[in-house]
Protein backbone atom coordinates (compact mmCIF):
# COMPACT_ATOMS: atom_id res chain seq x y z
CA UNK A 1 0.00 0.00 0.00
CA UNK A 2 2.56 2.64 0.98
CA UNK A 3 3.93 3.20 -2.46
CA UNK A 4 6.09 6.05 -1.22
CA UNK A 5 8.57 5.46 1.59
CA UNK A 6 10.98 7.61 3.51
CA UNK A 7 13.64 6.52 1.02
CA UNK A 8 11.70 8.13 -1.80
CA UNK A 9 11.43 11.33 0.15
CA UNK A 10 15.13 11.16 0.96
CA UNK A 11 16.06 10.77 -2.69
CA UNK A 12 13.92 13.71 -3.73
CA UNK A 13 15.22 15.93 -0.95
CA UNK A 14 18.80 14.86 -1.56
CA UNK A 15 19.36 13.55 1.95
CA UNK A 16 19.54 10.18 3.65
CA UNK A 17 16.56 8.18 4.92
CA UNK A 18 17.41 8.70 8.60
CA UNK A 19 17.45 12.43 8.02
CA UNK A 20 13.94 12.23 6.65
CA UNK A 21 12.84 10.36 9.73
CA UNK A 22 14.37 12.97 11.99
CA UNK A 23 13.26 15.98 10.00
CA UNK A 24 9.62 15.00 9.84
CA UNK A 25 9.52 14.39 13.57
CA UNK A 26 11.08 17.81 14.05
CA UNK A 27 14.06 16.59 16.02
CA UNK A 28 16.52 19.34 16.93
CA UNK A 29 19.45 17.61 15.30
CA UNK A 30 18.35 18.64 11.82
CA UNK A 31 19.01 22.10 10.46
CA UNK A 32 16.02 24.30 9.63
CA UNK A 33 16.92 24.43 5.94
CA UNK A 34 17.13 20.65 5.66
CA UNK A 35 13.86 20.27 7.50
CA UNK A 36 12.17 22.57 5.07
CA UNK A 37 13.57 20.73 2.09
CA UNK A 38 12.45 17.40 3.51
CA UNK A 39 9.00 18.72 4.34
CA UNK A 40 8.61 20.03 0.83
CA UNK A 41 9.62 16.71 -0.65
CA UNK A 42 7.28 14.83 1.65
CA UNK A 43 4.44 17.12 0.73
CA UNK A 44 5.14 16.77 -2.95
CA UNK A 45 5.05 12.97 -2.73
CA UNK A 46 2.11 12.95 -0.31
CA UNK A 47 4.25 10.81 1.94
CA UNK A 48 2.56 9.10 4.90
CA UNK A 49 4.89 7.33 7.33
CA UNK A 50 4.12 3.64 7.43
CA UNK A 51 2.75 2.91 10.87
CA UNK A 52 3.79 -0.74 10.93
CA UNK A 53 7.36 0.20 10.26
CA UNK A 54 7.39 2.78 13.00
CA UNK A 55 5.70 0.42 15.42
CA UNK A 56 8.13 -2.38 14.72
CA UNK A 57 11.07 -0.14 15.19
CA UNK A 58 9.93 1.61 18.34
CA UNK A 59 8.09 -1.37 19.80
CA UNK A 60 5.27 0.95 20.67
CA UNK A 61 1.94 1.39 18.92
CA UNK A 62 0.29 4.28 20.77
CA UNK A 63 -2.81 2.15 20.65
CA UNK A 64 -4.92 0.77 23.46
CA UNK A 65 -7.49 -1.99 23.12
CA UNK A 66 -10.81 -1.61 24.87
CA UNK A 67 -12.51 -4.98 25.16
CA UNK A 68 -16.27 -4.89 25.32
CA UNK A 69 -19.30 -7.00 24.58
CA UNK A 70 -21.67 -6.09 21.78
CA UNK A 71 -21.88 -2.34 21.34
CA UNK A 72 -25.58 -2.63 20.63
CA UNK A 73 -26.03 -2.55 24.38
CA UNK A 74 -26.08 1.24 24.75
CA UNK A 75 -24.22 1.08 28.04
CA UNK A 76 -20.92 0.25 26.40
CA UNK A 77 -20.73 3.11 23.96
CA UNK A 78 -21.30 5.39 26.92
CA UNK A 79 -18.46 3.83 28.84
CA UNK A 80 -16.34 3.78 25.74
CA UNK A 81 -16.62 7.47 25.06
CA UNK A 82 -14.92 8.70 28.27
CA UNK A 83 -12.25 6.03 27.87
CA UNK A 84 -11.61 7.13 24.32
CA UNK A 85 -11.48 10.77 25.33
CA UNK A 86 -9.03 10.22 28.15
CA UNK A 87 -6.81 8.02 26.01
CA UNK A 88 -6.85 10.51 23.17
CA UNK A 89 -5.82 13.34 25.47
CA UNK A 90 -2.80 11.24 26.35
CA UNK A 91 -1.84 10.45 22.80
CA UNK A 92 -3.29 6.96 22.54
CA UNK A 93 -5.70 5.73 19.90
CA UNK A 94 -8.53 3.50 21.04
CA UNK A 95 -9.30 0.23 19.33
CA UNK A 96 -12.55 -1.43 20.25
CA UNK A 97 -12.20 -5.18 20.45
CA UNK A 98 -15.61 -6.78 20.52
CA UNK A 99 -15.86 -9.89 22.59
CA UNK A 100 -19.17 -11.36 21.61
CA UNK A 101 -18.99 -14.60 23.52
CA UNK A 102 -17.01 -13.46 26.51
CA UNK A 103 -14.30 -15.99 25.76
CA UNK A 104 -11.90 -13.89 23.78
CA UNK A 105 -8.52 -15.45 23.29
CA UNK A 106 -5.96 -13.41 25.15
CA UNK A 107 -3.53 -13.85 22.29
CA UNK A 108 -5.00 -11.09 20.17
CA UNK A 109 -4.41 -8.68 22.99
CA UNK A 110 -0.79 -9.66 23.47
CA UNK A 111 0.49 -9.91 19.90
CA UNK A 112 2.05 -6.49 20.01
CA UNK A 113 -0.87 -4.70 18.40
CA UNK A 114 -1.55 -2.71 21.55
CA UNK A 115 0.45 -0.95 24.21
CA UNK A 116 -2.24 -1.63 26.77
CA UNK A 117 -5.68 -3.11 27.35
CA UNK A 118 -8.86 -2.00 29.09
CA UNK A 119 -11.24 -4.82 29.96
CA UNK A 120 -14.83 -3.69 30.46
CA UNK A 121 -16.79 -6.92 30.30
CA UNK A 122 -14.66 -9.51 32.06
CA UNK A 123 -16.56 -12.42 33.54
CA UNK A 124 -15.81 -13.16 37.16
CA UNK A 125 -13.73 -16.22 36.44
CA UNK A 126 -12.04 -14.90 33.32
CA UNK A 127 -8.38 -15.75 32.86
CA UNK A 128 -7.66 -13.05 30.30
CA UNK A 129 -6.51 -10.57 32.91
CA UNK A 130 -4.23 -13.15 34.46
CA UNK A 131 -2.76 -13.96 31.08
CA UNK A 132 -2.10 -10.30 30.37
CA UNK A 133 -0.45 -9.99 33.75
CA UNK A 134 1.76 -12.98 33.03
CA UNK A 135 2.85 -11.42 29.78
CA UNK A 136 3.42 -8.07 31.43
CA UNK A 137 0.89 -6.32 29.21
CA UNK A 138 -0.32 -3.14 30.91
CA UNK A 139 -4.03 -3.47 31.55
CA UNK A 140 -6.89 -2.40 33.76
CA UNK A 141 -10.41 -3.57 34.49
CA UNK A 142 -13.09 -0.93 34.10
CA UNK A 143 -16.71 -1.47 35.16
CA UNK A 144 -16.59 -5.15 35.99
CA UNK A 145 -14.09 -6.73 38.35
CA UNK A 146 -12.77 -10.20 39.03
CA UNK A 147 -13.05 -12.43 42.06
CA UNK A 148 -9.29 -12.57 42.37
CA UNK A 149 -8.22 -8.93 42.42
CA UNK A 150 -4.86 -9.39 40.75
CA UNK A 151 -5.14 -6.64 38.20
CA UNK A 152 -5.86 -2.97 38.90
CA UNK A 153 -9.51 -2.08 38.50
CA UNK A 154 -12.08 0.68 38.71
CA UNK A 155 -15.76 -0.01 39.29
CA UNK A 156 -18.86 1.51 40.73
CA UNK A 157 -19.76 0.52 44.27
CA UNK A 158 -22.46 -1.84 43.09
CA UNK A 159 -23.30 -3.36 46.45
CA UNK A 160 -23.87 0.13 47.86
CA UNK A 161 -26.01 1.10 44.88
CA UNK A 162 -28.07 -2.04 45.20
CA UNK A 163 -28.54 -1.42 48.89
CA UNK A 164 -29.68 2.13 48.24
CA UNK A 165 -32.32 0.84 45.85
CA UNK A 166 -33.41 -1.73 48.42
CA UNK A 167 -33.84 0.86 51.13
CA UNK A 168 -35.64 3.14 48.70
CA UNK A 169 -38.32 0.70 47.55
CA UNK A 170 -38.76 -0.46 51.15
CA UNK A 171 -39.27 3.11 52.29
CA UNK A 172 -41.83 3.64 49.52
CA UNK A 173 -43.84 0.93 51.22
CA UNK A 174 -43.38 -1.94 48.79
CA UNK A 175 -43.49 -5.48 50.14
CA UNK A 176 -43.86 -7.68 47.08
CA UNK A 177 -40.60 -6.76 45.42
CA UNK A 178 -39.20 -8.57 42.40
CA UNK A 179 -35.58 -8.65 41.28
CA UNK A 180 -34.54 -9.08 37.67
CA UNK A 181 -30.84 -9.61 37.97
CA UNK A 182 -27.96 -9.85 35.56
CA UNK A 183 -25.83 -12.96 35.11
CA UNK A 184 -24.19 -14.25 38.27
CA UNK A 185 -20.83 -14.56 36.56
CA UNK A 186 -20.61 -10.80 36.14
CA UNK A 187 -19.56 -8.75 39.13
CA UNK A 188 -22.17 -6.13 38.29
CA UNK A 189 -24.98 -8.66 38.15
CA UNK A 190 -24.05 -10.36 41.39
CA UNK A 191 -23.00 -7.34 43.47
CA UNK A 192 -26.11 -5.32 42.68
CA UNK A 193 -28.31 -8.27 43.56
CA UNK A 194 -26.48 -8.84 46.84
CA UNK A 195 -26.65 -5.16 47.67
CA UNK A 196 -30.37 -5.11 47.02
CA UNK A 197 -30.91 -7.94 49.48
CA UNK A 198 -28.83 -6.17 52.08
CA UNK A 199 -30.78 -2.95 51.68
CA UNK A 200 -34.07 -4.76 52.04
CA UNK A 201 -32.85 -6.71 55.04
CA UNK A 202 -32.16 -3.45 56.83
CA UNK A 203 -35.91 -2.90 56.64
CA UNK A 204 -36.76 -6.41 57.64
CA UNK A 205 -37.70 -7.42 54.12
CA UNK A 206 -36.77 -10.40 51.98
CA UNK A 207 -37.33 -11.19 48.31
CA UNK A 208 -39.67 -14.07 47.70
CA UNK A 209 -37.74 -16.70 45.77
CA UNK A 210 -40.45 -16.80 43.11
CA UNK A 211 -39.90 -13.12 42.39
CA UNK A 212 -36.28 -13.47 41.33
CA UNK A 213 -35.20 -13.81 37.73
CA UNK A 214 -31.62 -14.06 36.57
CA UNK A 215 -31.24 -13.18 32.88
CA UNK A 216 -28.80 -11.67 30.38
CA UNK A 217 -28.48 -7.90 30.36
CA UNK A 218 -30.78 -7.09 27.44
CA UNK A 219 -34.17 -5.57 26.71
CA UNK A 220 -35.98 -8.69 25.59
CA UNK A 221 -34.88 -10.66 28.63
CA UNK A 222 -36.20 -7.95 30.93
CA UNK A 223 -39.41 -7.85 28.98
CA UNK A 224 -39.97 -11.60 29.10
CA UNK A 225 -39.15 -11.82 32.80
CA UNK A 226 -41.51 -8.97 33.61
CA UNK A 227 -44.35 -10.52 31.65
CA UNK A 228 -44.00 -13.66 33.73
CA UNK A 229 -43.85 -11.72 36.95
CA UNK A 230 -46.86 -9.54 36.18
CA UNK A 231 -48.99 -12.52 35.27
CA UNK A 232 -48.57 -14.20 38.64
CA UNK A 233 -51.47 -14.43 41.01
CA UNK A 234 -49.87 -11.96 43.32
CA UNK A 235 -47.74 -9.79 41.04
CA UNK A 236 -44.97 -7.64 42.49
CA UNK A 237 -45.65 -3.95 43.09
CA UNK A 238 -42.02 -3.09 42.40
CA UNK A 239 -39.42 -4.54 40.07
CA UNK A 240 -35.76 -3.80 40.66
CA UNK A 241 -33.61 -4.35 37.60
CA UNK A 242 -29.91 -5.16 37.35
CA UNK A 243 -29.39 -2.43 34.80
CA UNK A 244 -31.28 0.16 32.77
CA UNK A 245 -31.71 -1.95 29.67
CA UNK A 246 -33.47 -4.62 31.70
CA UNK A 247 -35.66 -1.87 33.15
CA UNK A 248 -36.59 -0.73 29.63
CA UNK A 249 -37.73 -4.27 29.00
CA UNK A 250 -39.80 -4.13 32.17
CA UNK A 251 -41.39 -0.89 31.02
CA UNK A 252 -42.12 -2.48 27.66
CA UNK A 253 -43.86 -5.44 29.28
CA UNK A 254 -45.89 -3.19 31.55
CA UNK A 255 -46.98 -1.14 28.55
CA UNK A 256 -47.98 -4.27 26.66
CA UNK A 257 -50.01 -5.60 29.57
CA UNK A 258 -51.65 -2.28 30.29
CA UNK A 259 -50.04 -1.99 33.70
CA UNK A 260 -49.63 1.65 34.69
CA UNK A 261 -46.16 2.84 35.69
CA UNK A 262 -45.73 4.21 38.32
CA UNK A 263 -49.38 3.93 39.40
CA UNK A 264 -49.53 0.16 39.58
CA UNK A 265 -45.87 -0.74 39.27
CA UNK A 266 -42.57 0.74 40.32
CA UNK A 267 -39.56 0.05 38.07
CA UNK A 268 -35.99 0.93 39.03
CA UNK A 269 -32.91 0.56 36.85
CA UNK A 270 -29.16 0.85 37.34
CA UNK A 271 -26.53 2.80 35.34
CA UNK A 272 -28.45 5.91 34.30
CA UNK A 273 -27.51 5.73 30.67
CA UNK A 274 -28.58 8.59 28.44
CA UNK A 275 -31.86 7.03 27.33
CA UNK A 276 -33.02 6.83 30.93
CA UNK A 277 -33.15 10.57 31.28
CA UNK A 278 -35.12 11.09 28.08
CA UNK A 279 -38.60 12.26 29.09
CA UNK A 280 -40.14 9.58 26.92
CA UNK A 281 -38.55 7.02 29.26
CA UNK A 282 -37.86 8.98 32.44
CA UNK A 283 -36.51 6.05 34.41
CA UNK A 284 -35.80 6.11 38.13
CA UNK A 285 -32.37 4.57 38.41
CA UNK A 286 -28.90 4.65 39.94
CA UNK A 287 -26.52 7.11 38.41
CA UNK A 288 -23.00 5.95 37.58
CA UNK A 289 -20.37 8.53 36.74
CA UNK A 290 -18.83 6.82 33.75
CA UNK A 291 -16.73 9.86 32.95
CA UNK A 292 -14.98 9.58 36.28
CA UNK A 293 -14.72 5.83 35.92
CA UNK A 294 -13.18 6.12 32.49
CA UNK A 295 -10.73 8.80 33.52
CA UNK A 296 -9.62 6.85 36.54
CA UNK A 297 -9.18 3.66 34.56
CA UNK A 298 -7.04 5.44 32.02
CA UNK A 299 -4.96 6.96 34.82
CA UNK A 300 -4.23 3.50 36.16
CA UNK A 301 -3.33 2.31 32.69
CA UNK A 302 -1.08 5.25 31.94
CA UNK A 303 0.83 4.68 35.16
CA UNK A 304 1.65 1.20 33.92
CA UNK A 305 2.52 2.41 30.44
CA UNK A 306 5.02 4.74 32.06
CA UNK A 307 6.61 1.74 33.65
CA UNK A 308 5.14 1.71 37.14
CA UNK A 309 3.67 -1.23 38.98
CA UNK A 310 0.05 -0.47 39.81
CA UNK A 311 -2.36 -2.36 41.98
CA UNK A 312 -5.19 -0.06 42.93
CA UNK A 313 -8.81 -1.12 43.22
CA UNK A 314 -10.91 1.98 42.92
CA UNK A 315 -14.57 2.10 43.80
CA UNK A 316 -16.82 5.01 42.89
CA UNK A 317 -20.01 5.86 44.73
CA UNK A 318 -23.22 5.78 42.68
CA UNK A 319 -26.23 7.94 43.50
CA UNK A 320 -29.94 7.25 43.30
CA UNK A 321 -31.73 9.48 40.80
CA UNK A 322 -35.47 9.78 41.20
CA UNK A 323 -37.52 10.24 38.05
CA UNK A 324 -40.92 9.05 36.97
CA UNK A 325 -41.11 5.26 37.32
CA UNK A 326 -41.48 4.91 41.07
CA UNK A 327 -44.26 5.47 43.57
CA UNK A 328 -45.95 3.88 46.57
CA UNK A 329 -47.69 0.55 46.03
CA UNK A 330 -51.28 0.79 44.77
Partner DNA sequence: CCGTGGTCTGCATACGTATGCTTGTCAAGC
Partner DNA sequence: GCTTGACAAGCATACGTATGCAGACCACGG
Residue of the chain from 275, 292, 305, 316 that contacts a second copy (CB under 8 A): 275
Site for DNA (CB under 7 A): which residue of 11, 39, 45, 54? 54
DSSP state of 14: T
Q: Please state, in angstroms and as integers, the Cα–Cα distance from residue 265 to each residue in 20, 173, 235, 286, following that order.
A: 69, 12, 9, 18
63 part of the interface to DNA, by CB under 7 A: no
Choose one: 118-126, 130-138, 176-184, 298-306; the region binding a second copy (CB under 8 A). Answer: 130-138
Number of H helices, E strands in the chain: 12, 12
In our burial notation (b when 16+ CB lie closer than 10 A, e otherwise), range 110-130 reads: beeebbbbbbbbbbbebebbe
Among 1, 29, 306, 307, indicate the residue that binds a second copy (CB under 8 A).
1
Q: Does 40 bind DNA (CB under 7 A)?
A: no
Does residue 324 belong to the site contacting DNA (CB under 7 A)? no
CA distance 152 to 296: 11
Q: Applying CB under 7 A, which part among 47-55, 117-125, 229-237, 257-265 lies near DNA?
A: 47-55
Q: Is the peptide bond before 262 cis (omega within 30 degrees of 0)?
A: yes
In the list 8, 11, 55, 133, the residue contacting a second copy (rule: CB under 8 A) is 55
Residue 49 interacts with a second copy (CB under 8 A): yes or no? yes
**3-state class (DSSP) for residue 278:** coil
Residues 102-131 that bind DNA (CB under 7 A): 112
Rg, C-alpha atoms of the chain: 25
Least separation, in Å, of the C-beta of 42 and DNA?
10
Rounded distance, CA 138 to CA 301, Å? 6
Looking at the Cβ atoms of 55 and 264, the one nearer to DNA is 55
Closer by beta carbon to DNA, 6 or else 186: 6
**Contact pick of 112, 149, 263, 312 for a second copy (by CB under 8 A):** 112
Q: Taking CB under 7 A as the rule, does residue 16 contact DNA?
A: yes
Task: Select the binding partner of residue 5 from a second copy, DNA, none (C-beta < 5 to 8 A, by kind).
Answer: DNA
Question: Rounded to whole angstroms, what are the CA distances from 116 to 24, 46, 72, 86, 258?
Answer: 27, 31, 24, 14, 50
* Residue 5 binds DNA (CB under 7 A): yes
Check binding of 19 to DNA (CB under 7 A). yes
Least spacing, CB of residue 169 vs DNA, in Å: 56
Q: Does 173 bind a second copy (CB under 8 A)?
A: no
- Long-range pairs of 51-56 with CB within 8 A, sequence gap ≥ 24: 55/112
Q: Which residue stretch of 50-58, 209-217, 295-303, 307-315 sits at the interface with a second copy (rule: CB under 8 A)?
A: 50-58
Q: Is the dihedral of CA 286, 291, 292, 298 positive or negative?
A: positive
Strands (E), the chain: 63-68, 93-98, 116-119, 139-142, 153-156, 177-181, 212-214, 238-241, 266-268, 285-287, 313-316, 319-321
Q: Which of residues 129-158 bind DNA (CB under 7 A)?
A: none
Residues interacting with DNA, by CB under 7 A? 2, 5-7, 14-19, 21-22, 24-25, 28-31, 33-34, 47, 49-50, 52-54, 56-59, 112
Residues interacting with a second copy, by CB under 8 A? 1-3, 46, 48-53, 55-56, 59, 61, 70-72, 74, 77-78, 80-81, 84, 94-96, 98, 107, 110-113, 115, 134-137, 219, 223, 248-249, 251-253, 255-256, 274-275, 278-282
Amino acid sequence: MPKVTSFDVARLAGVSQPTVSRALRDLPSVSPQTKERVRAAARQLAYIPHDQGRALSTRTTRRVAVVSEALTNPFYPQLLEPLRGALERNGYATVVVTDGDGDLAGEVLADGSFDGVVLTTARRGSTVARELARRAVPHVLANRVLDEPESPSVAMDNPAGGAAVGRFVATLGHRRIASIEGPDDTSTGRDRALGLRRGLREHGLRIHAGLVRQVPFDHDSGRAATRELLQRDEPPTAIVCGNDVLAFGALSAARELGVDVPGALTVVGFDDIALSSWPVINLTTVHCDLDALGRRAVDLLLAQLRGGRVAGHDVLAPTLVLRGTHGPPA
